[in-house]
Amino acid sequence: MSVAFNSKSEEGKRDSCTLMAPDDRSKSAWLPQSLVWWIGAAAVCLGFLLLLVILGLVAQNGRAISHWKKLQVGLMECENLVYNLTKDRDALRDEREQLKRNSSSLNKELDVLQSQYKAVAASRDKLQEDVRRLNHSKTERNCHQGWIKFNNKCYYASDKGAAKTWEESRKDCLQRRADLVIITTKDELDFVSKIYTRTWIGLSDMQQENKWKWVDGSDLIGGGFWQSGEPNNSGDEDCVEISRSNGEWNDALCSIEIPWICED
């Protein structure tokens, strides 16, 4: 009986073995339990790594987008700056052109005014001379012997070869009850410069530099008949001579000795 029972129990065991699922049997047969665990862990790690890579790419992409947006903003600012600078340059160019036109127009006006001034000064000189002539025409002048008459006035020219300083020349004229010639018109200038191409006249700035006064105390009115570049006060020149063939004025050193002409 016991043998039978044992044989039965062995059979039961075999039966129980035969009742096991076919998959369980194959796993236990092909993959050991530890290998399954390692594969699972590796899969989890790979998944985690993949997630990190994806997150890294997303973050990098975000930084790139943000950097690109900054570049775009910078580019727009540059474009605005270039636009504003171009606008300013154009405005300055227009302003320069306008200033050029204004300057040209002002120069023309200045030329017109200068020529008008010259015309007015010439007529004033003529009028002044007319007044003087009228004042003297009441009585016809008779000049002393050796004097030259011009426009009812008497002039004395120093002897040929004689030469004096400005002060000595003036002293000579005063001794003749006259004074160094006062030139008020172009006619008078032409008359005097025909007598001597170089001679003292009664004009100086010895009292105050560049304040020209005639020997009768009157101021030089108008521009005078200066040579180009004169008066230049070169070396402190205070006395006026007619010099050079053009018969115009130069301020010279009062100490030089040249001919002179007196006017009565």
Q: To the nearest whole angstrom, how small is the minimum distance from the Cβ of residue 178 to Ca ion?
A: 11
Minimum CB distance to Ca ion smaller for 259 or for 263: 263
Q: To the nearest whole angstrom, how small is the minimum distance from the Cβ of residue 233 to Ca ion?
A: 4
Q: To the nearest whole angstrom, how small is the minimum distance from the Cβ of residue 105 to Ca ion?
A: 36
Dihedral pair phi/psi, residue 251, rounded to 5° = -80, 130
Minimum CB distance to Ca ion smaller for 193 or for 250: 250
Q: To the nearest whole angstrom, how small is the minimum distance from the Cβ of residue 239 to Ca ion?
A: 8
For helices 33-137 and 186-195, angle between their N-to-C axes, nearest 10 degrees: 70
Which H or E run includes 164?
none
DSSP strand pairing (179-180 vs 261-263): antiparallel
CB 156 within 8 A of CB 176: yes
Q: To the nearest whole angstrom, how small is the minimum distance from the Cβ of residue 112 to Ca ion?
A: 31
Rounded Cα–Cα distance for residues 141 and 144 (Å): 10
Evaluated on CA atoms 170, 174, 175, 177, the torsion sign reads: positive
Question: Distances in Å between the alpha carbon of 186 and those of 84, 183, 201?
Answer: 62, 8, 14
Minimum CB distance to Ca ion smaller for 125 or for 205: 205
Minimum CB distance to Ca ion smaller for 125 or for 238: 238
Query: In 3D, which of 170, 143, 153 has the Cα closest to residue 254?
Result: 170
Q: To the nearest whole angstrom, how small is the minimum distance from the Cβ of residue 159 to Ca ion?
A: 21
Minimum CB distance to Ca ion smaller for 69 or for 133: 133
Point out which residues bind Ca ion (CB under 5 A). 182, 205, 230, 232-233, 237-238, 250-251
Minimum CB distance to Ca ion smaller for 163 or for 185: 185
Residues in Cβ contact with 134 at an 8 Å cutoff, skipping those fewer than 6 apart: none
